[in-house]
Structure 1
Amino acid sequence: MAQETTSKSDSKGVMTKRQVLNLSTFRPLATLDTDKMAEFGRLNNTIEGLYSTTGEGQAELALAKKVKINARKTTYTFTLWKDSYWSNGDVITAKDFVFSWRRALSPRTKAPNADLFVGIHNARQILDGQLPARKLGVSAPNKFTLVVHLDHPMAELPQRLTYPLFGPQNERVAHKFGKKYATKPQYQVYAGPFMVSAKGNTAKHWHMVPNPHYWDREHVYLQRINVTVYRNWQKTWDDYRNGRLDEVRLQSAANIKLYEKQAAYTARPYSRMVLISYRKQGSRSQVNQLIAQRNARLAISHAINRKRLSQKSYGATSLTAQGVVPAGLSRGQRGTADFAAAQPEQETLAYNPALAKREWQAALKRAHLKRITLTLGYLDAEYSGKIARALRQQLMRQLPGLTIKLKKRGWSYDQATPPAKTDLSLTTKYAQYADPLSMLALFTSTNTANAGSWSNPIYDRLIAQASNAPAFNNRRWNTLLKAEGVLMKNQSVTPLLQPASTYLINPKLNGVQYNTVGTQSNFKGAYFVK
């Protein structure tokens, strides 16, 4: 079995002479090490792997010229292009992938999303400390051949390999700079269409320029991407209106309503889910006894008016949760059924105040309580704060005897799932590839993203069955639906809403690929028209 990609054509006749894109961020550039990033943000434009993502979330070959798969679908043999180069001119080789993947699993590195490697031969044992990283089932028999051995068939492997964590790293450069590697732009090299400039970077500003050795350099049109770190939204808004930014995020329902009919307005859907995680083993035994009860978690879910919660936070463009898998992430064999809409236990997410009160009172009685105070943690960010305040108001109104105290938590660049320090935690989970498994696997007993440490052997077995499937067939689809049914029936996590981010974007900016899964914005083919 083999796959190959072809180049796309374009026309420069409509482009402006100056091709400079100005963007904003609220997070300073903390690291350039792909193994240290929980989220890649703008930096995904500096990374390329065996596959890249299409605008529909599917996988297409990138640094790999072709792939052959054995009959058992447990060995993938990739042939790399011989004319792909790092930004310093070094040839990208199969050994760069071997080095990168082993490094991500090494105990010294502790890549936040290292669980994505599970299924590749020995990855689970390496993560559990039973084997060294050199035992990972990946090898480079020659300069441009990469062989990947799996523990079992993985139908979703190409989609998974689009994620930037699976990109190569230049071993020679990493060894050359040692501890300095990727700490500053001058200590890193890049395989993607852009590279972070080694000049002019500060705590408040950094910028990317085209990678001069990128294999498809002739189809990279932007001369520079400026990224400025802002401390408050008003300054961002002022700079957009004055032409110093090409994109600004709308922060209020009033602004969305005001601008939604303008050419610059866009609502950008994305495969992520805001949900409540439950801490099962806190310091207060009474709280643990309460949260351990399915009735208590169901009561919390039934007490939430998700539609109103969405309107008070992200606005009407967001979707209320139908389950933990986002809408639009995956469809059935014939492309007709959306997985989220087919979730079998949707009544567990229905707004039902009367039922919520009965469930809550039953849970309190069983825990020998009349009232309880729970802590709700949320990220110190605009939208998280809005959701937390609205959620507290709804839960305290509907559930007798409940008091909720809000607690902010800081944002960590290199930590995908922080340890739970509150009884309830507002978290956002992202689908890193276009398959329901990308979300459902996060809640297995051994996954590091399972912040609440929920464990269910039936759920784990169903996810394992789906993970081992050789193809995207109806049996795999139904197995995943059954697994999500177990998750939702127990309300092991409580999904709230699927945000859609709303922006004003310079109408003259064209050619940006806005992904609904994985990494969000690809500027490789972006350009400004006259």
Structure 2
Amino acid sequence: MDKLKHWETFLIGLLLCIGLAGCTVVQETVSPSDSKGVMTKNQVLNLSTSHPLTTLDTDKMSQFGRLNNTIEGLFSATGDGQTELALAKKVTLNKSRTTYTFTLWKDSYWSNGDLITANDFVYSWQRALTPQTKAPDADLFVGIHNARKILDGRLPATQLGVSAPSKFKLVVHLDHPMAELPQRLTYPLFGPQNERIAEKFGKRYGTKPQYQVYAGPFMVASTGNTKQHWHMVPNPHYWDREHVYLSRINVNVYHNLKKSWHAYQSGKLDEVRLWSQSNMKYYEKQAAYTARPYSKMVLLAYRTTGKNTTINQLLLQKTARLAISHAVNRQKLARASYGSTSLPAQGIVPAGLSRGQRGTADFAAAQPNQKTVAYQPKQAKKEWQTALKSAGVKHVTLSVSYLDAIYSAKLARKLKQQLESTLPGLTIKLKSRGWTVDEQAGPLEADLTILTQRAQYADPLAMLALYTRSSTANLGHWSNQTYDNLVAEASNATSFSTHRWQTLLKADGVLMAQQGVTPLLQPASTYLINPKLNGVQYNTVGTQSNFKEAYFVK
């Protein structure tokens, strides 16, 4: 049975399992076809990054980048956004679909040779929720029994609904059915952590490669790393080591775009990102060119609790937020910043994230109230003047915060031009901010903040759940009870039913009608990639590039 057939069989089994009172899905071991006959002897991959290695602690990361290749969990994501079992051998659901029982493989090991056990997951998940850890994406645990109470400080993390009744048995109790749980569990935050190593190194844990161990196909080498370079090598104890072909992955830090470009041209890099419009157009027909969409949205968040009460009063008005949204020409904004391959927002859910039951309907295209994100300058002026009058002002200066990066800076400048030219009496003051590991931790430091929000798993709920009243990602603190109720209803669904789909669409419609946040565009990154590199799995959700089975051909 080849790998594709294996996945189709597993998917059918999982769908049947979801529809039954209680069942078990067993993953069959399948060896992917090898291409060793055409591989080169030198299997070294050279990549670039703009950010130095700051932490190896998965609980401290809001973005995993290349490090996702060092992490593996119960499920892993496939290239089409679906899931397959990884460190779990099988999973059983109870009749009410509120308890998942995972049986782990008995021959999975950490990079130091320690056995991976169920307790490693219990320790990892509880640690992510402790106040001392403050994992940026801890909200993803909500739905697992007691997670919300733990995040609110009402219970200790030890009360999370996860237990290890035996060495290779992991039991997860939910507050309610969660149809999307397998999709969530592919995210690296749900991977295991080695308690013995974490306790041994204490505060040093994850601060350097020698203070961390790894469950994924690669590990960060403990020597030879600098502020400008780090590299990964194969995990010698990885359960599928036989099908890891790269001998080394070099990751070099480039702050200068010209230097990274020259490195690619001279063969020192196997991948380079295209930044300029002219380069994109020139290379788009070459074999090395690729436009890589990703399930994330660039958006505007509104601060309504600042020191200026007049501005607060203005931005609390739905009319003002609609005016700002209608004043944005998203097509031109995308082209002037991220490039022509990027997509104007149709709503808060990015294109390609999730499809209907029959695999034909893209949720993004079906989103209601798309007129609220359409360019309507005349209507924008009327709405803005109404909002100004209600706030008792004729002129206002709004600060706009943006990340100090090339795309964000271009977008901010173009957005300033569009808003000031369309909305009378508005002055925009731009404020750049530096990048941090937990960049979106908040609070907002400007009246309008340009943020990039990623969908961490392949379901509309991954985006919609971010803007409920209790979500820590809801930095603008927009609140609507109808919206919260709809998201809760979809969260409690037992399966991916038509009713759940329609509930999510209704929630999206409320958010867009209110412009609780204003989505701008869905960026697509463009790259030149060494045509001899094969076997890379590029994901559109969660983590981007999986190099487990990557290799170079002659």
TM-score, length-scaled by structure 1: 0.99
Is 1:185 matched with 2:206? no
Per-residue deviation, residues 125-179 of structure 1 (Å, max 9, x unmatched): 0000000000000000000000000000000000000000000000011111111
Alignment partners' CA distance in 1, 2:213 and 2:132:
21
User: 104, 120, 124: which is aligned to 2:148?
Assistant: 124
Provide the residue aligned with 2:8 in structure 1.
none
For 2:126, the equivalent position in structure 1 comes to: 102
User: SS at the partner of 2:183?
Assistant: helix
Provide the residue aligned with 1:79 in structure 2.
103
The residue matched to 1:13 in structure 2 has which SS?
Answer: helix
Q: Where in structure 2 are the equivalents of 1:44-63 lying within 5 Å?
A: 44-63=68-87
The 5 A counterparts of 1:255-274 are 255-274=279-298
Mapped partners of 2:43, 2:387: distance in 1: 61
Residue type of the alignment partner of 1:318: S
Q: Provide the residue aligned with 2:462 in structure 1.
A: 438
Cα separation, 2, equivalents of 1:376 and 1:393:
12
- 1:312 is paired with a residue of what secondary structure? helix
The within-5 A match list for 1:232-381 is 232-381=256-405
Does the CA contact (< 8 Å) of 1:112 and 1:415 recur in 2?
A: no
Match 2:522 to one of 491, 495, 498: 498
**What is aligned with 2:4?**
none
Q: Note if 1:484 corresponds to 2:484.
A: no
User: Partner of 1:429 in structure 2?
Assistant: 453
1:415–1:404 Cα change, 3 Å: closer
Q: Report the 3-state secondary structure (helix = DSSP H, G, I; strand = E; otherwise coil) of the residue aligned with 1:199.
A: coil
C-alpha distance in 2 between matches for 1:486 and 1:5:
43
The equivalent of 1:2 in structure 2 is 24
Specify whether residues 5 and 397 from structure 1 end up closer, same or farther in structure 2 by C-alpha distance, changes over 3 A only: farther
- Tell whether the 8 Å contact from 1:5 to 1:62 is kept in structure 2 after alignment: no
Shift of 1:9: 2.5
Distance across 2 between alignment mates of 1:407 and 1:415: 15
Q: Which amino acid aligns with 1:251?
A: W
CA distance in 2, matches of 1:496, 1:275: 5
Give per-residue Cα distances to partners, 1:183-226, cap 9 Å, x unaligned.
10001000000000001011110000000000000000000000
Q: Distance in 2 between matches of 1:211 and 1:136?
A: 31
CA contact (8 A) 1:271 1:329 kept: yes
Match of 1:196 in 2: 220
**Aligned equivalents of 2:442, 2:526: Cα separation in 1:** 27
The one-letter amino acid paired with 1:382 is I
Q: Tell me, what secondary structure is at the counterpart of 2:37?
A: coil
The AA in structure 1 aligned to 2:539 is N
RMSD, aligned CA = 0.7
Using the TM superposition, give the Cα deviation of residue 357 of structure 1 relative to its aligned residue in structure 2, in angstroms: 0.4
User: Aligned equivalents of 2:482 and 2:248: distance in 1?
Assistant: 51
Q: State how far apart, in whole Å, the 2-side matches of 1:334 and 1:179 are.
A: 49
State the distance in 1 between where 2:201 and 2:297 align: 38
Shift of 1:5: 4.1
1:30 maps to 2:16: no
1:173 maps to 197
Percent pairwise identity? 73
Q: Which runs of 5+ in 1 are unaligned?
A: none
AA at the equivalent of 2:349: V
Q: SS where residue 42 of structure 1 aligns? A: helix
Structure 1: how far apart are the matches of 2:301 and 2:360? Answer: 31
Structure 2 equivalent of residue 394 of structure 1: 418
2:3 corresponding residue in structure 1: none
Equivalent residue letter for 1:181: Y
The separation in 1 between residues aligned to 2:95 and 2:518, in whole angstroms, is 41
1:5–1:60: 8 Å Cα contact kept in structure 2?
no
| CA distance in 1 between partners of 2:440 and 2:53 (Å) | 17
Aligned equivalents of 1:119, 1:367: Cα separation in 2: 40
Amino acid aligned to 1:494: T
Q: Which amino acid in the other structure matches residue 290 of structure 1?
A: L
Q: CA deviation at 1:414?
A: 3.0
> Which digits, 9 at most, give the CA deviation of each residue in 1:261-286, with x for residues without a partner?
11100000100000000001111011
- Partners in 1 of 2:249 and 2:28 — Cα distance? 27
| CA distances 1:440-493 after superposition (whole Å, capped 9, x unpaired) | 000010111001011111111110000000000011000000000000000111
Deviation at 1:417, TM superposition (A): 3.1
Residue identity in the other structure for 1:211: N
**TM-score under structure 2 length normalisation:** 0.95
| CA displacement 1:224-261 (0-9 Å, x = unmatched) | 00001111111000100000000000001111001001
Between the aligned partners of 2:485 and 2:283, the Cα distance in structure 1 is 48
What letter matches 2:24 in structure 1?
Answer: A
Amino acid at match of 2:184: R
3-state SS of 1:355 partner: helix
User: Are the counterparts in 2 of residues 69 and 77 from structure 1 also a CA contact under 8 Å?
Assistant: yes
Query: For residues 415 and 368 of structure 1, what CA distance do their matches in structure 2 show?
Result: 35
Name the residue aligned to 1:133.
Answer: 157
